[in-house]
């Protein structure tokens, strides 16, 4: 058994869902991860992670629209306004979604479903640099053996 960790930095240009599947898959491949469990953890309180459909972009649009209706950016609704009118709604959206994901790895690849992708869900309106910890616990192919 082995453990690998990496701090993935992602710049989100605005509020929305950003597909990071390729970057995570590239790390799994680069590190020769064979079989185990990959955990992703976002180190922020105003963004989140989700696994969602990656085939029809309307799914992502509908998710955003739902959250816009459910958690509006209305300064009359919140006391916390320290970083602007989108700050408290971003914290609420992050609380309603996920800060970590667990994905099984087998045969050197993540066992995502056919239409699943991994997304950084940015809840702030302005560009943000986000850090996502990738933590793998399992078997690693050693190319030197």
Per-residue burial over 97-120, b = 16 or more CB atoms within 10 Å of its CB, e = otherwise: bebebebebeeeebebeeebbbbb
| Per-residue pLDDT at 141 exceeds 90 | no
> Looking at the domain assignment, is residue 13 inside a domain?
no
121 is a domain residue: yes
Q: How many domains, in total, are found in the chain? A: 1
Query: What pLDDT, on a 0 to 100 scale, did the predictor assign at position 44?
Result: 98
Q: Is residue 51 a part of any domain in this protein?
A: yes
Average pLDDT of the residues of the chain: 96
12 lies in some domain:
no
pLDDT at 142: 76
Looking up residue 68, the CATH number of its domain turns out to be 2.60.120.460
Residue 144 falls within a domain, yes or no? Answer: no
Whether 120 and 20 have beta carbons less than 8 Å apart is answered as yes
pLDDT at 119 over 80: yes
Structural domain boundaries enclosing 100: 2-6+21-138
Q: Which residue has the tokens 């910890």?
A: 133
Mean pLDDT of 4-26: 98
Residue 30 lies in a domain: yes
Threshold 0.85, pTM exceeds: yes
Which two tokens mark 10?
């992602």
Total residues found in the chain within this entry: 145
Percent of the chain with pLDDT over 90: 92
CA distance from start to end of the chain: 15
In tens, the pLDDT along 73-106 reads 998 999 998 889 999 999 999 999 999 999 999 9
Q: Is residue 66 part of a domain?
A: yes
The C-alpha atoms of residue 17 and residue 67 are separated, in whole angstroms, by: 12
pLDDT value of position 143: 65
């Amino acid at each position: 058994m082995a453990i690998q960790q990496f701090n993935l930095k992602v710049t989100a240009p605005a509020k929305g869902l950003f597909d990071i599947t390729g970057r995570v898959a590239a790390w799994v491949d680069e590190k020769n991860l064979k079989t185990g469990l990959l955990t992703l953890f976002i180190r922020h309180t105003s963004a989140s992670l989700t696994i969602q459909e990656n085939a029809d972009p309307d799914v992502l649009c509908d998710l955003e629209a739902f959250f816009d209706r459910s958690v509006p950016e209305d300064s009359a609704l919140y006391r916390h306004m320290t970083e602007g009118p989108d700050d408290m709604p971003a914290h609420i959206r992050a609380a309603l979604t996920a800060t970590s994901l667990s994905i099984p790895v087998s045969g050197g690849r993540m066992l995502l479903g056919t239409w699943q992708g991994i997304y950084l869900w940015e809840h702030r309106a302005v560009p943000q640099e986000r850090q996502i910890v990738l933590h793998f616990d399992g078997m690693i192919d050693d190319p030197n053996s």
